Structure formats: C-alpha cells, structure tokens
Amino acid sequence: MNRLNLAVGPVSMALDFEDKSLCEHFSRYFMDQISQSDPQVIMEIHLTDKKTSGRVPNSLFLTKRKREMGFETGEGLLQAHYDRQKKIWIFTVNLLLLKNDYTRVFEQILYQAFYSVVGERNYHLVHSSGVIRDGQGFLFFGPSEAGKSTVASLSSPYSVINDEINIIDLESEIPMLVSTPFNGLYRDKAEGRAPLKGLFLLNKAPHHRVEAIRGAKAVKPLAGEIIPPIGLDEILDPMTFPSMMDRAAVICKNVPVYRLDFLPDSGFWDVLKEL
C-alpha cells in the first residue's frame, strides 16, 4: 500500500492507497500538508469502477447508513467496515467519487475521521474562510453564497488559510484559528494557525460596517456552519443539530462575534482595523 499521512489540525490520518499514482494525486490535491506524527486513524482505500446511476449526492452525511461493522454512503458509492484486529477502516470507493470536483464530496469522509479522533474535545470544523493578518486569525462565515470565497480572493495580501473548512481550537490556552488541507475555490492557500481575533458573519451590503452580535443572533447562524460532529462509526440522529447548537454556544462564549456588512472590495479590512 502507498500511504499519505495527512495533517488536519491536531489529527494525523493515514490514507492507504493500492495505486501509487492516486496517492501522489491526493498528496498534490491536499498541497502536501503532510503529518510527521503516527496516524491516529487509518483508512485503507480500495477502488471499484462498478457502474452506478452516475449521480453523486452533495452530502455523505445525509446519505450515510449503518451496516454490519461499518456503513455505506453516497447512495452506494462508498462502503466501509472496521477491521477490529488491524484497527483500520477499510473503504471500497467508486472511482466516480474521486473524479474532478467530486473529490470535495469525498472529503466529507475525512471530516468524519477527524471527529472520530477528537471526539468531544473542543475542536470544531467550521464551513468558513480563514485569514491570518498581522498574526491574528479572522474567521468569516455565513450560508452558501454569503461571500466566503469572495473574502478569500480579496485578502490575498494576507495569509489565506482556507475558504472552505477551518478549525476553531478551544483546547489551547487561547482560542486559535487553525488551517485544514481541505479545498474550496481558493487554491493559493497556506498552512497556518493564529490567535482568533473574531468570527464575522458575512452580509453583502452597499457599505462596509462591522457590528458586535450576541446570543441567538450569533449562535444560530454559526451552528448552521459547523460540520456535523459525527465520527466514522456514527450517523446523523435527532441529537446532532442540538450538539451543533451547543458547540456554537461554547464558541460564541469564548470568541467575539460580529456581523460584517461588506461590498465586494478589500475596503472591509479598513473597517476591521478599528476593532
């Protein structure tokens, strides 16, 4: 097998491929964000080209179903079982799920691997853009089309660490913003971590303005952008969203949250300098 040891914040995860070229492809895809630590979760990946409907669902969370010793998801495009003797996850993945933009769907399995390792510890994956400016971390969030990738593209003078998924680390002495290797639209990203200055709920507007928000105005929209905290051996259940709300409440208790009205130009950074 050909191993890729991927670093995702505090987690080291191993992807074992039969095909060397596929391993090299994924190393490039994740921009060589390699872990030097021993893996905490190992995933052995076997490929199949079995004919399917050709449809790839957007979510590997909503389509996930438990099976004996494992699960299947993606309407059958991925099956997995846990080998208790070897202590590894063995995946059978349809090639369709690893082609073109569909790889971003496959990444959702790695989100679940992350949560399998961190469990209930205070690490949170958030659908967001992360930028480090002058040694401080800024996390921009909001629903789809809110402007996360726009903010990333307008922040190129600074260190853009991701425009898709970032980690909020509340386990450290102070809240930290931490990069991930996952991919959005902005490809010129860099690894990094920095003290978290604040969270910014994006709102497209005819002006630049920043305003502190608290309570439900902060917690509810943030909860919607937290990646569901389920591990590889779990599925969505009635307690998943309440758990996301609880996580959002903990984050908002520890980190300032603001609403950022912004135009599609870099002038919003001038407003943020006033904080």
pLDDT tens for 119-171 read 999 999 999 999 999 999 999 999 999 999 999 999 999 999 999 999 999 99
Whole-number Å distance between alpha carbons of 218 and 199: 9
Whole-number Å distance between alpha carbons of 80 and 9: 24
* In contact, 219 and 189? CB cutoff 8 Å: no
Residues 92 and 25 reside in one and the same domain: yes
| Bridge-based pairing state of the strands 176-178 and 165-169 | antiparallel
Of 98, 118, 138, which marks where a domain is finished? Answer: 118
Of 101, 118, 135, which marks where a domain is finished? Answer: 118
Residues 76 and 106 reside in one and the same domain: yes
Residues 99 and 194 reside in one and the same domain: no
Question: The whole model's pTM is what?
Answer: 0.95
CB-based contacts of 68, cutoff 8 Å, min separation 6: 81
Q: What is the pLDDT of residue 101?
A: 82
* In contact, 177 and 194? CB cutoff 8 Å: yes
Q: HEC states along 209-234? A: EEEECCCHHHHHHHHCCECCCCCCCC
Range of the domain at 162: 123-272
Give which of 123, 131, 168 is closest to 148, Cα–Cα. 131
Q: What is the pLDDT of residue 201?
A: 99
* Tokens, residue 1: 């097998």
Number of compact structural domains in the chain: 2
pLDDT tens-digit map of 35-78? 999 999 999 999 998 877 778 999 999 999 999 889 999 999 99
Average pLDDT, the chain: 95
